[in-house]
Amino acid sequence: MMRTLNDIRPSLYYASFAELIRSVKFILDKGVDVNAQGEDYDNALRATFQEDHDQVMQMLLVKEVDVNAQDEYYGNALQAAFQEDHDQMMQMLLVKEVDFNAQDEYYGNALQAASQEDHDQVMQMLLVKEVDVNAQDEEYCNALHAASARDHDQVVRMLLAKEVNVNAQDEHYGNALQTTSQEDHDQVMQMLLVKGVNVNAQDALYGNALQATSARDHDQVMQMLLVKEVDVNAQGEYYGNALQAASQEDHDQVMQMLLIKEVDVNAQDEQYGNALQTAAFKDYDQVIQILLAKEVDVNAQDEQYGNALQAASYRDHDQVMQLLLNHDAVINRKNIQGRTSFHLISAEKQMKTVETLSSFESDSTIIDMQERNCLHHAIFKDFIEIVNLLLKKDFDSNYADRDG
């Protein structure tokens, strides 16, 4: 396919790209169009960014090159300078009437780019120019989010000195406080709290900042939040409340702090049920003992695992099962399929836990929703040892299930 003259980059582009100073001067003296564009919107100014040729840029700026021309990759010249990390070029452009609030798809405006990359000297220049500190992009929301996520405390300090919105929300992290909570940036968090950030703002994943902190085991950040009136029982989509988040990740010190604040030990989430069911499923002995010392409901049910005893049965956690049984766990409680803990362990060849439940007088003759008892499950899986143990319990070996 033949290329047209419009597809070919102008000679000034190549001279600028190669930093051929004399050639650039010669072409400019001939009165060439400094803003001429070729293939992919390339012009001479863009060529200087790719190779950091600030002397060439100075020559182009003298010739009134259009600093606000947009391309499909960078946005305008200032945004290109940020993406290529050319500090000298950024400063040269800011002296010109560059549009510092222009948006691109990658960074948003120039201030958001500077916030992500920790260019505090350039940020000061932008703030003097009254850049929009609350401009939003698709990734980090505003500049404060970007700086908080990257732990750029000097940048955060400068933004807070302006009237930046500390409670601006994005789809992923929520507000800037939730961003710092996930990353354990305690100095940034302290600054945000002084500015009155909303500690109970919710996001789609973790809920509030406390839940994000509990899941990540950030003790110091947790202490700062608890000093404020953070809602310890707020629910998130993924973890439930902060206690459930700490239970899932085996963060016993965090749990102790939450329990002092009278967190609801029986709050339920969609995945595991209450905190005890979570800890039982994951075999976190220390966490279980902490919860049992409180008035946790050992027999609370959820749709997936049943109660804590059944959750422990799924994973063959014999020690946890004994601990729960010693705290009045109902041994014959049925789950949504009508199965008890004895059904579950009989189907999983867990001989040790079968013996444990037998010692606690579990009823192994209970029929589930498929009209099967424990013997059916053990036979189906060909677990001979368990079959023999069950037959010693005077089972009716002729009992038929739904399938005969």
Q: CB-based burial of residue 332 (10 Å sphere; 0-12 exposed, 13-18 middle, 19+ buried)?
A: middle
Mean pLDDT of the chain: 81
Residue 297 has pLDDT above 60, yes or no: yes
d(CA 392, CA 387): 9
> What pLDDT is recorded for position 7?
45
Answer for the pair 52, 84: CB distance below 8 angstroms, yes or no: yes
Residue with the two structure tokens 């698709």: 138
Residues 92-141 have pLDDT tens digits of: 888 887 888 888 766 678 888 778 777 777 788 888 888 888 888 766 67
Residue 337 has pLDDT above 80, yes or no: yes
Residue 6 has pLDDT above 60, yes or no: no
- Overall CATH class of domain 1-94: mainly alpha
- Under 8 Å CB-to-CB from 88, ≥6 apart: which residues? 52, 54
| Least confident residue range of 59-63, 71-75, 247-251, 293-297 | 71-75
> What pLDDT is recorded for position 9?
63
> What pLDDT is recorded for position 85?
67
Phi, psi of 296 (to 5 degrees): -75, 145
> What pLDDT is recorded for position 140?
64
Average pLDDT rounded to a whole number, residues 236-249 = 81
Residue 160 has pLDDT above 60, yes or no: yes
Residue 108, helix vs strand vs coil? strand
| Least confident residue range of 209-218, 231-240, 385-394 | 385-394
Average pLDDT rounded to a whole number, residues 151-164 = 89
Residue 298 has pLDDT above 90, yes or no: yes
| Least confident residue range of 2-11, 66-75, 377-386 | 2-11
| Least confident residue range of 150-154, 225-229, 263-267, 393-397 | 393-397
Q: Output 136 or 261, whichever has higher pLDDT.
A: 261
> What pLDDT is recorded for position 88?
81
d(CA 123, CA 118): 8
Answer for the pair 156, 126: CB distance below 8 angstroms, yes or no: no
d(CA 302, CA 323): 20
**Phi-psi label, residue 328: left if phi above 0, alpha if psi -120 to 50, beta otherwise:** left
DSSP per-residue letters across 307-354: SHHHHHHHTT-HHHHHHHHTTT--TT---TTS--HHHHHHTTT-HHHH
CA–CA distances in Å: residue 301 to residues 9, 60, 308, 332, 360 = 69, 72, 8, 13, 20
Using alpha carbons only, what angle is made at residue 325 by residues 322 and 326, rounded to the nearest 5 degrees? 85
Which candidate, 30, 86, 79, places its Cα nearest to that of 57?
A: 86
Residue with the two structure tokens 């939040």: 225
Where does the pLDDT of residue 292 fall: very low under 50, low under 70, confident under 90, or very high at 90 and above?
A: very high
d(CA 63, CA 372): 88
| Least confident residue range of 11-25, 128-142, 180-194 | 128-142
d(CA 42, CA 2): 19
| Least confident residue range of 61-75, 222-236, 298-312, 385-399 | 385-399
Using alpha carbons only, what angle is made at residue 114 by residues 109 and 118, rounded to the nearest 5 degrees? 160
Average pLDDT rounded to a whole number, residues 56-63 = 88
Q: Where are the domains of the chain?
A: 1-94, 107-131+140-163, 298-404
Q: What is the pTM of this model?
A: 0.69
> What pLDDT is recorded for position 1?
41
Where does the pLDDT of residue 304 fall: very low under 50, low under 70, confident under 90, or very high at 90 and above?
A: confident
Share of the chain above pLDDT 70, in %: 87
| Least confident residue range of 34-43, 89-98, 164-173, 253-262 | 34-43
Average pLDDT rounded to a whole number, residues 20-36 = 88
Average pLDDT rounded to a whole number, residues 362-367 = 81
Residue with the two structure tokens 């239970």: 247
Residue 278 has pLDDT above 60, yes or no: yes
The CATH number of 298-404 is which of 3.40.440.10, 1.25.40.20, 3.40.50.2300, 1.10.4190.10? 1.25.40.20
Do 298-404 and 1-94 have the same topology in CATH?
yes
